[in-house]
Structure 1
Amino acid sequence: MQDLDARRAHEARLKEAILNAARQAGVAHLRGEYSGAGDSGDHWEVSLEPDNPELDQDVTVELAESQFDAKSREYKTVLVETTLPLSELFDRYMEMVVESRHGGWENNEGGAGSLTIDVVEGTVTLEHTTYFEASETDTYAL
C-alpha cells in the first residue's frame, strides 16, 4: 500500500481483527520481538499470553497484497481474504507496523524492538531501537 492513510486504515482494521479474535480466544496479551542487522537477516518471535496452543485460533481477514496487473503493467494493491492462525496474523501485523514506521530497520547496523498488544486495554505499543555506529572527533589548534 503506497498511500500512508490507506496503510494506517489497513493497520487499524487488522488491529481490530486481532483484538476481537484474541478476546474470543481468551488471550490477554500478544507480544512480538524482532532484531536484525546487515547481512545477518532478521529474527521475529511471537508469543500469546497465556501460553496455550489451543488459543491460537484461525482468523479470517482481508490482507493487502501487491499484484502485478499485466494490462496496465503496474503493481496494484488488492485486499485478499485470508485465513491464518492468530499468531501469524499478529506476526504480519507487527511486520507491517515496524516497516511503516522504521522502513529498512534491518539494514546496516540494524535495530530491534517489540510490539505488545494489551487485549484488555485495547492498546498497542511499539518499542523500537535503532542501532548505529558513532564516532567522535576532537580537533585542537596547538
Structure 2
Amino acid sequence: MTIFDALITAGIVSLVVNFDGYGDSGQIESITAMGPDGEMALPEISIAYASPARADADDPVDRQPMPLAKAVETLCYDLLRQTHAGWENNDGAFGDFTFDVAARTIGLDHNDRYTAIESYAHQW
C-alpha cells in the first residue's frame, strides 16, 4: 500500500506537513490530516515505504515497512533533500507540504530565511 492509498482508505482528503529548520537542525513540526468533516488523526497502520536501494542491491527499490506517519515524514525529508538541500542550515527555512489526496499530488511551499546586510562607506 502506498502513502496515497493509505490516505484514501482512511478517508483523508488532504494532509499538511509543516517543517522548520535553522542553526543546522530542522524537523517536521506537525502533520495535519483533513477529512470531509474536518481534522482527523492519521491511522496507525504500516505501509511499505519504497526508496532507491544501494547500488549493489539486486532490486533497485528498497521497500521497508513503517508506520504511515513515519513514511510521510521520511518522504518529506527526502523531497526537501532533493529540492532544497541544506534547508536547515544557518538561518534555515520553513514551509509546508500539502498532499492533495484525490489528485495524488504534493505541493511544497518553501521559504528561505537569510540575514541581509546593506553596507555603505563614503569618503570625500
Structure 1 runs (4+) deviating above 4 angstroms are none
2:52 counterpart residue number: 64
Give the TM-score, by structure 1 length: 0.70
SS of 2:85's equivalent in the other structure is coil
Quote the offset at 1:98 in angstroms. Answer: 0.9
**Counterpart check, 1:99 vs 2:87:** no
Sequence identity, in percent? 23
Aligned partner of 2:23 in structure 1 is 38
SS in 2 for 1:32: strand
**Equivalent pairs, count:** 118
Unaligned 5+ segments in structure 1 are 1-15, 70-76
CA distance in 2, matches of 1:34, 1:65: 26
Q: Is the 8 A contact 1:47 1:87 kept in 2?
A: no
**For residue 28 of structure 1, what is the amino acid of its counterpart?**
V
Q: TM-score, normalised to structure 2's length?
A: 0.78
Mean CA deviation greater in 79-88 or 109-118? 79-88
Residue 10 of structure 2 aligns with an amino acid whose one-letter code is A
Deviation (angstroms), 1:141: 4.8
Deviations 1:91-122 (A, max 9, x none): 11111111111001111111111111011233
Distance, in Å, in 2 between the alignment partners of 1:52 and 1:61 is 20
1:52 to 2:34 alignment: no
Structure with the higher helix share, 1 or 2: 1
Is the Cα contact below 8 Å between 1:25 and 1:57 reproduced in 2? Answer: no
Give yes or no for contact 1:111–1:128 (8 Å, CA) kept in 2.
yes
- The Cα RMSD (Å) is 2.5
What is residue 90 of structure 1 aligned with on the other side?
Answer: 72
